[in-house]
């Protein structure tokens, strides 16, 4: 099933993101233990990030996405980045995904690595979207930035680029992390006014480590509201208390989003079933009410 069809059939969609194990760990089986634990949360779909550097030979995204779909019976979304890919690379990956019964792709430009010169075939995610759309075999998801992409001059320009991406073939959006729901509500109003009507998942990342979150927000341009900053400072040297406070913050954020009729929640699990399950248990009743 294409992801956008889920939103046509369900009043609310709950999903998770995982990432492949690092190549040097050499233990891909560990991710399946994680997935089996996450299945207790009954996700509508699970997305699998693309390996760093975009090297197809070292990439396990397709294998993991295929196993989620074909062994565990849960719809999967394979991330596909293009900054370090040629058109031939993308053609190979599309064939590999199709042959593995993976129907959905999250099309992304990907982060530019200063140590790896980017290729020139795809300058923007919209370029990749057009190629996948022309291929015709996949549902296409895309990313969006409630607080503006860090390379865009302003939010209005970023939304114009987002509209271009949707017009090119994206039928479902997943937001970058954010910690202030008012920012998300305002963003949704603006993109709807701009004519972007596809379903949007709110991307939520639980705060479990101050350094990790600070690195993430510096990379994606998200802001830390005063309430969250206070928690980070208060529990900076108390990891367990920060983890619990971060879980409570995520639960409150998600429940508020659900109560305001958000179409879907995409939880960045960080491959941590314990944290993800604690959040799910905290929002379970709200999810059940929303699903009807």
Active site residues: 17
Q: Which two tokens stand for residue 259?
A: 């109560």
User: For the chain, where are the E strands, in sequence order?
Assistant: 13-18, 45-48, 75-81, 104-108, 139-144, 172-175, 200-204, 264-268
Rounded CA gap, 33 and 13, in Å?
23
Backbone φ/ψ region at 5: left (φ over 0), alpha (ψ -120 to 50), beta: alpha
Residues 210/178, Cβ–Cβ less than 8 Å: no
Rounded CA gap, 192 and 56, in Å?
36
Rounded CA gap, 250 and 160, in Å?
30
- Would you give the end-to-end CA distance of the chain in angstroms? 21
């Amino acid at each position: 099933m294409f992801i956008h069809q889920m939103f046509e059939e369900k009043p609310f969609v709950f999903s998770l993101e995982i990432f492949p194990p690092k190549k040097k760990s050499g233990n891909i089986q560990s991710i399946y233990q994680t997935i089996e634990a996450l299945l207790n949360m009954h996700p509508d779909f699970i997305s699998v990030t693309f390996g760093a550097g975009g090297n197809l030979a070292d990439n396990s995204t397709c294998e993991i996405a295929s196993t989620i779909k074909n062994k565990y019976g849960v719809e999967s979304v394979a991330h596909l980045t293009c900054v370090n890919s040629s058109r031939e690379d993308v053609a190979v990956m599309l064939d590999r995904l199709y042959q593995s019964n993976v129907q959905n792709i999250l099309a992304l430009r990907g982060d530019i690595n200063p140590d790896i010169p980017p290729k020139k075939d795809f300058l923007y995610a919209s370029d990749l979207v057009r190629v996948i759309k022309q291929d015709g075999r996949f549902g296409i998801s895309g990313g969006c930035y409630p607080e503006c992409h860090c390379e865009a001059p302003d939010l209005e320009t970023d939304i114009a680029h987002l509209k271009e991406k949707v017009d090119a073939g994206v039928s479902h959006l997943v937001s970058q992390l954010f910690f202030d729901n008012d920012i998300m509500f305002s963003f949704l109003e603006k993109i709807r006014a701009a004519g972007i009507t596809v379903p949007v998942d709110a991307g939520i990342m639980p705060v479990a480590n101050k350094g990790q979150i600070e690195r993430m927000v510096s990379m994606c341009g998200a802001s830390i509201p005063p309430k969250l900053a206070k928690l980070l400072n208060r529990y900076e040297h108390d990891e367990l208390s920060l983890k619990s406070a971060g879980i409570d913050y995520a639960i409150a954020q998600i429940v508020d989003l659900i109560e305001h009729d958000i179409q879907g929640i995409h939880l960045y699990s960080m491959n941590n079933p314990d944290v993800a399950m604690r959040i799910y248990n905290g929002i379970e009743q709200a999810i059940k009410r929303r699903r009807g």
